[in-house]
Amino acid sequence: MKISFQGEPGAYSEQAVFNYFGKDVETVPCESFDVMFDSVISGKSDMALAPIENSLAGSIHQNYDLLLRHHLHIVGEYFLRVRHCLIANHGVKKEEIKKAISHPQALGQCAAYLRNHGIKAEQVYDTAGSVKMLKESGANDVAAIASKRAAELYAMQILEEGIEDNAENYTRFLAVGREAIVPESDAKTSIVFSLKNVPGSLFKAMSVFALRDIDLTKIESRPLQGKPWEYLFYIDFIGSIHNETAQRALDHLGEYAVMLRVLGSYPRFKG
Amino acid sequence: MKISFQGEPGAYSEQAVFNYFGKDVETVPCESFDVMFDSVISGKSDMALAPIENSLAGSIHQNYDLLLRHHLHIVGEYFLRVRHCLIANHGVKKEEIKKAISHPQALGQCAAYLRNHGIKAEQVYDTAGSVKMLKESGANDVAAIASKRAAELYAMQILEEGIEDNAENYTRFLAVGREAIVPESDAKTSIVFSLKNVPGSLFKAMSVFALRDIDLTKIESRPLQGKPWEYLFYIDFIGSIHNETAQRALDHLGEYAVMLRVLGSYPRFKG
């Protein structure tokens, strides 16, 4: 099975692919989220694993937009605990490190650690790419911040593991494929809809779930292109569209919605 | 009066400052949103004008986070129609342009225009900064994409105005200051709150507005730091907290909210 992810080999997303799909899949690195979605559409890969939200940084809105634009189906979810490693060339000691290079988000998530150790931060485009760059440069006063997998892939030294300032650092990924699935039990469903621009419309939309005791786990709004200050709403709820209560809720929502699409029902991830 | 904005002189944000506060204010350019908020806290400037949402790209989440972190007050709002200009050195003709440089978001908003004219895109850190770079380089096959003001500031040639693919391109700005104001009439209010993590809690929170026919204009969720998959909600509604109905709605919301803060009541912008 071929699974697309965004980033270089050794990216956190690639780690997530192996954790979720197993060690035997073939990973397809993609330079952007667009390319990643296209690779599934074109059949270059079977599925993609797209990061949709980080527990510290928030939603990855580009992937919400791409879920809407492409007619793919969400078939699963996975939560990755993000553990940043301080990575250096062999023979380098931690005390020698003056500068750390990584993606801005990783640097931000280790800001207190870097400050406490007097290490300067410098942004590069990618976490795994920073390890590759460091290896090529051979520098002995620079460290990269990336995943354990990136260190292993480039046969580099891990000076310290888990240097993130906040341990509650998780990224939620969605597996997307060309065919919808029917989850067996304990499912989650993701939908997207737009509403008439009238007072109280979102309240009515949410009532279709509340009145049926359906638990919402996420609501996200995105701008409706060409209609300033009107929105698309993305909602995740517990349950499958193959369950009658959820189906009635969606029928009810259809009475208020201008547009409504089910992005997928899929098994809930259990840690 | 001194007003902070994020970016270089000639940035769209600086244009917004002059449109909203008048030509006579002194603008204080800030290298980041953090620095911009700090400049108001420290008294280096009287107010800041922070972009909070673009009608195409969506919310600027960092400024939502900064509104929460700093105890400043929203005192006004302004909507800027974003018109991108194709800017070149003097004597250069449009047909000679092979490459356009600008901030990634501006390039993205002119993607179809650039494609149709066979112009390659190259990312730089800032729109106004791209004009400055172009002037310094003297290149005659490169254009910058930036505001009319940036072209005027650096005495450069505007080859074409309004090259954005989608005309419905507006950015909403919030004016923030150290003192809250009491808007006279036709006000908007921004609040932020968190809820107990129980089913139906957001529905209840929204009912306090719906039951009183209070119109919500925006809802935004941001991750609650340290509590994965719990959220802060930012809501804008029509009305002032100095109005009794709104005050009762907030009292009612207080029954469900773990945290509730009013970010400000301020006059609605009229175009």
Q: What's the pLDDT tens digit per position in A5-44?
A: 999 999 999 999 999 999 999 999 999 999 999 999 999 9
**pLDDT at position B161:** 97
Residue of B207, B222, B225 lying closest to A203 (CB–CB): B207
Count helices and strands (H / E) in chain B: 9, 15
Nearest CA-CA distance, residue B207 and chain A, Å: 7
The reply to whether B173 belongs to the active site is yes
Q: β-strand B142-146 against B85-88: which pairing, if any?
A: antiparallel
**pLDDT at position B160:** 98
Q: Residues for chain B: how many in total? A: 271
Nearest CA-CA distance, residue A265 and chain B, Å: 19
Mean pLDDT of A33-59: 96
Given a cut of 90, whether residue A87 has pLDDT beyond it is yes
> Do A219 and B217 make contact, defined as CB atoms within 8 angstroms?
no
**pLDDT at position B52:** 97
Neighbours of B214 (CB within 10 A): 20
> Do A199 and B213 make contact, defined as CB atoms within 8 angstroms?
yes
Homologous superfamily in CATH for domain B2-82+169-177: Periplasmic binding protein-like II (3.40.190.10)
The domain defined by B85-161 carries CATH number 3.40.190.10: yes
Whether A271 has its CB under 8 Å from any CB of chain B: the answer is no
Q: For the residues of A71-108, what is the DSSP string, one character each?
A: --EEEEEEEEE---EEEE-TT--GGG--EEEE-HHHHH
Which residues in chain A have their CB less than 8 angstroms from residue B222's CB? Answer: 58
Given a cut of 80, whether residue A271 has pLDDT beyond it is no
Which residues in chain B have their CB less than 8 angstroms from residue A221's CB? Answer: 218-221
Contacts of B87 (CB under 8 A, 6+ apart): B131, B134, B143, B144, B145, B146, B150, B151, B156, B157, B158, B159
Quick: pLDDT tens for A203-257. Answer: 999 999 999 999 999 999 999 988 999 999 999 999 999 999 999 999 999 999 9
**pLDDT at position A146:** 97
Which residues in chain B have their CB less than 8 angstroms from residue A215's CB? Answer: 199-200
- Indicate the DSSP class of residue A269: P
Q: With cut-offs at 50, 70 and 90, classify the pLDDT of residue B5.
A: very high
Residues of A labelled catalytic:
171, 173
Best of B55, B218, B269 to disrupt the A interface by mutation (most A CBs within 10 Å)? B55
Whether B226 has its CB under 8 Å from any CB of chain A: the answer is yes
Given a cut of 90, whether residue B120 has pLDDT beyond it is yes
Sign (positive/negative) of CA torsion A214, A219, A222, A228?
positive
The domains spanning B2-82+169-177 and B85-161 adopt the same CATH topology: yes
Contacts of B136 (CB under 8 A, 6+ apart): none
Describe the strand order of the beta sheet including A187-195 as a list of residue ranges.
A216-223, A231-238, A187-195, A257-267
Backbone angles phi, psi at B192, to 5 degrees: -135, 140
Quick: pLDDT tens for A132-151. Answer: 999 999 999 999 999 999 99
Quick: pLDDT tens for B57-99. Answer: 899 999 999 999 999 999 999 999 999 999 999 999 999 999 9
Quick: pLDDT tens for A164-213. Answer: 999 999 999 999 999 999 998 899 999 999 999 898 999 999 999 999 99
**pLDDT at position B105:** 87
Q: Chain B: residue nearest A206 by CA?
A: B203
Q: Chain B: residue nearest A166 by CA?
A: B226
Quick: pLDDT tens for B47-68. Answer: 999 999 999 989 999 999 999 9
**pLDDT at position A35:** 97
Q: Chain A: residue nearest B225 by CA?
A: A56
Rounded Cα–Cα distance for residues A68 and A191 (Å): 10
Q: What is the CATH number of domain B187-267?
A: 3.30.70.260
Quick: pLDDT tens for B191-220. Answer: 999 999 898 999 999 999 999 999 999 999
Describe the strand order of the beta sheet including B187-195 as a list of residue ranges.
B216-223, B231-238, B187-195, B257-267
**pLDDT at position B256:** 95
Q: Which is catalytic among the residues B27, B127, B171, B189?
A: B171
Nearest CA-CA distance, residue B132 and chain A, Å: 23
Residue-averaged pLDDT of chain B: 96
> Do B218 and A229 make contact, defined as CB atoms within 8 angstroms?
yes
Residue of A203, A223, A227 lying closest to B210 (CB–CB): A203
Enumerate the domain spans of chain A.
2-82+169-177, 85-161, 187-267
pTM summary value: 0.92
The CA-CA-CA angle for residues A102, B231, A13, to 5°, reads 35
Quick: pLDDT tens for B212-240. Answer: 999 999 999 999 988 999 999 999 999 99
**pLDDT at position A204:** 96
Residue-averaged pLDDT of chain A: 96
Which residues in chain A have their CB less than 8 angstroms from residue B172's CB? Answer: 229
